Amino acid sequence: MTTLTPAKIAQLRALMSALPAALSARIVEAAGAGDEAMGQLLHACTRKAEVYARERFFAPLAPLSLDPALARPSLAHIPPAMLATVWGWLDETLAPDITSDMKARCANPLLPPDDRAEDGLRADASRRILATLDELHDDPRATKQLRHRLGVSDFRAVRDLATILRTAPVLRAAMAGIPEEVSELSEELAQTLRDQYDEACKVDPDAGVWFLYLVMARLTRPWAILRVFEKIVRRDDDFLLSRTDVSTIGDALLEDAAYYVSGFAEIPASIEAAREMAAALTQFATVTVGMSREIGIRKDGGWGRQILALRQRASAQMEAIHAAALTQLDKTVPDPHKPLPARLKLSGEALAAAATRMEVFCTFLRLTRDDASRAAVGGAHAGVLDRIGQRFDMASEMLLAQMRGTPGDSDLTERAAVIARLMTAMGQQDIASVFLRRAAAARAA
């Protein structure tokens, strides 16, 4: 592999770039499992040279640069679109010498990264970015033009990007030895993180908060970072910087919680949407309950008030979903004890469509059964589940009685199948099976 010429590398890059993304990813993974260097080479060759240079330049930001459409805000603080526009700004105007140097270093993927040299390029770019932003302070027109070019409403994230670039060597040293994924934050690891946080702050005070962000990105339970906060804040010296960093990370957790609340703000329109929305509700409950349990957030404190506001918002959203579910229930499985006009009695395609719509609600309500109480909507949720369960019981018994009287009625058979389908969507497979057997027996009587 070390004898590959630039021409051969160009051919390999063309080949890998031409393959479907899923296939090239599998090839890279398989190669990397046996030979890490080969895996890195093939990964580099799946990208165009320009893209590879940009990815390597911004590598210190990678854990915080996920797609905001797919990841919580704390993992999408500096999204891919911003990286692309900032790189274009550097390449075209602000620092073409830096981007050219980076491209040259990335031309041969066989050469390992030179962290020291590349960190120097990042630090130089950081200085230029921040100096330019500072110069814009008294120039509204230029400020507006640059905001438009970078696609931002303000420069806070751009400044954060520059800070992370500058502190990259400090962050790399601080993160050394920390597992790529932390499922359980032990007391020992929390102490280690506190010590490494202190060391990073001594080298560069601006690195502290980004160290905490990077640690949080590796936690399967991000709110567990609050255990480290206790060790940072509860100390003899008045470390004001740490308190500011703690506040920033706490706000980031609340941003994540708000993101998850937004994930179930609509009425579910499909089974897939119901599952995604249920997952969002679970994440919201987990984050807010996790935060409260870790450090006992006061209800009248800043974070406590924000959590309360988010729970009130979640409750209002769930009330709307509950109301829509009960309305759909009346259409799909009417109360058998109430008179129903003939025009509202569904059958055929209309009944099938109504059943499909109700199945979506049943799926969402079932999947959120355990987490609704943790999201402050437990009582109402349990009430809706009870009403639906009671309706199914009443309707199924009424149908069985009607079937015994008119065993050949196809409409009754059709409605029985709908009820069994909805029982299954509610997680009542055994009850649905028993009901269908009883229905078959009633038809045969």
Q: E strands within 105-210? A: none
Judge contact between 163 and 214, C-beta under 8 A: no
Tell me the C-alpha distance between 264 and 269, whole Å: 11
Task: From residue 9, give the alpha-carbon distance in Å to each of 1, 46, 53, 116, 221.
Answer: 10, 11, 15, 25, 41
**Confidence at 299, pLDDT banded by 50, 70, 90:** low
Tell me the C-alpha distance between 267 and 296, whole Å: 33
**Confidence at 338, pLDDT banded by 50, 70, 90:** confident
Judge contact between 119 and 169, C-beta under 8 A: yes
**Backbone phi and psi for residue 376, each to the nearest 5 degrees, phi listed first:** 70, 25
- Reduced to 3 DSSP states, what percent helix, strand and coil does the chain have, rounded to the nearest 5? 75, 0, 25
Instruction: Determine the pLDDT at residue 330.
Output: 94
Does position 39 have pLDDT exceeding 70, yes or no?
A: no
DSSP 90: I
Judge contact between 318 and 372, C-beta under 8 A: yes
Region 66-91: mean pLDDT is: 95
Does position 297 have pLDDT exceeding 70, yes or no?
A: no
C-alpha torsion 142→148→154→156, nearest 10: -100
376 vs 111, residue with greater confidence: 111
Q: Which two tokens stand for residue 90?
A: 């550097």
Tell me the C-alpha distance between 210 and 402, whole Å: 68
**Confidence at 237, pLDDT banded by 50, 70, 90:** very low
H-only helix segments in 368-409: 378-405
Per DSSP, the three-state class of 219 is strand
Residue with tokens 């009901």: 435
Task: From residue 143, give the alpha-carbon distance in Å to each of 105, 156, 382.
Answer: 33, 13, 53
Judge contact between 190 and 225, C-beta under 8 A: no
How far, in whole angstroms, is CA 103 from its chain's centroid? 32
Tell me the C-alpha distance between 304 and 312, whole Å: 12
Over the stretch 171-204, which tens digit does the pLDDT of each residue have? 999 999 999 999 988 889 989 999 999 999 999 9
**Backbone phi and psi for residue 185, each to the nearest 5 degrees, phi listed first:** -90, 100
The region of weakest confidence among 17-26, 256-265, 421-430 is 17-26
Judge contact between 380 and 318, C-beta under 8 A: yes
Task: From residue 225, give the alpha-carbon distance in Å to each of 3, 42, 289, 373, 385.
Answer: 47, 35, 14, 24, 36
Provide the phi-psi class of 248: left if phi over 0, else alpha when psi is between -120 and 50, else beta.
alpha
C-alpha torsion 351→356→359→360, nearest 10: -140
**Backbone phi and psi for residue 182, each to the nearest 5 degrees, phi listed first:** -115, 110
Size of the chain, expressed as the number of residues it contains: 445
DSSP 287: H
Tell me the C-alpha distance between 197 and 179, whole Å: 16
Q: What Rg do the C-alpha atoms of the chain give, in angstroms? A: 29
How far, in whole angstroms, is CA 415 from its chain's centroid? 39
Does position 341 have pLDDT exceeding 90, yes or no?
A: no
The region of weakest confidence among 192-201, 232-241, 288-297, 399-408 is 232-241
- Please state whether the predicted TM-score (pTM) of the whole model is above 0.75: yes
Tell me the C-alpha distance between 134 and 131, whole Å: 5
The region of weakest confidence among 17-26, 402-411, 429-438 is 17-26
The CA-based diameter of the chain, rounded to the nearest angstrom, is: 89
**Confidence at 236, pLDDT banded by 50, 70, 90:** very low
CA dihedral over 304, 309, 310, 315, signed as positive or negative: positive
